[in-house]
Amino acid sequence: MSDEQLSTRNDQLCIEIFQRGIAINNYNFLHFGPKLFHWAILLRPKPDVHLDKSLAIDVDNGPWTTSDGTREPNETKIWNFRTRRPVDPLKSKSFHAAVAIGKLPPGTGEDDVVEILRHIPLPRPGNFDDSNCHTWLMLAIEKLQAEKVVSKACSAGEIIEMVTREGLRLQSDEAERNAQQRFLIHPKLYS
C-alpha cells in the first residue's frame, strides 16, 4: 500500500483496550474500574487485509524504547503521547478488544487525528489527580467530537461504558479463540 493510498483510505476509528496482566472479570472491574484496561485509539484500515498498517495512539507512563533501541525505565513515571505505525493489534499479546466508533470523515486523515490528539493535556506524573490513559482517552473522545471527527450521538462516558461492557463480555480466553470477535462496532456511532 503506497503512502498516497494510506492517506486516502477510509479508516475505522476505534477505541482499543489492552489487558494489564490482571484477570478480566467483574470482580476485578469492581476493584480497579476502567484501570483494569490500558486504553488507546486505533485507526484501522479497511479492508481488513491491511490491518497490519494500523495506527495506534495513546499515552503511557511505562518504560519506553528510544529510536536506537535502548530501553529507558521512566522511573519518574512521566506520561508521554505516543503514536505507533504500522501496528497490527492482533500481534500484541495484551490486545483485548477494539470497538469501532466511526469512520474518518472525508478530508480527514491520520495526521489530522494525531495533530488533534497531540494537544490534549497529558496525565500528571504521580497521578495526584487520578489521571491516566483512561481519563486522557475521555478527553480525546470529547475533542474528536468537538472537531466533528466522531459523532456526538453518545457522550464520551457512554462510549467508555460500552467499550468496558464489551471488554468484560469478551473474557480473555474467549477472545483468544476468535481474533475477529475482538473487533466490534458501536451501533449508535458507526454508520
81 near 59, Cβ under 8 Å?
Answer: yes
Number of domains in the chain: 1
**Dist CA 140 CA 154 (whole Å):** 14
4 pLDDT exceeds 70? no
Q: Answer yes or no: is 191 within a domain.
A: no
Rg (CA), the chain: 16
Instruction: Between 113 and 48, name the one with better pLDDT.
Output: 113
Nearest to 181 by CA among 85, 95, 101, 86: 95
Residue 99 confidence class, pLDDT cut points 50, 70, 90: very high
**Dist CA 74 CA 19 (whole Å):** 21
Q: Answer yes or no: is 190 within a domain.
A: no
47 near 150, Cβ under 8 Å?
Answer: no
Instruction: Between 57 and 131, name the one with better pLDDT.
Output: 57
Q: Which residue segment(s) compose the domain that 120 sits in?
A: 3-185
Mean pLDDT, rounded, for 116-125 = 93
Nearest to 45 by CA among 82, 80, 2, 81: 2
Residue 50 has what pLDDT? 86
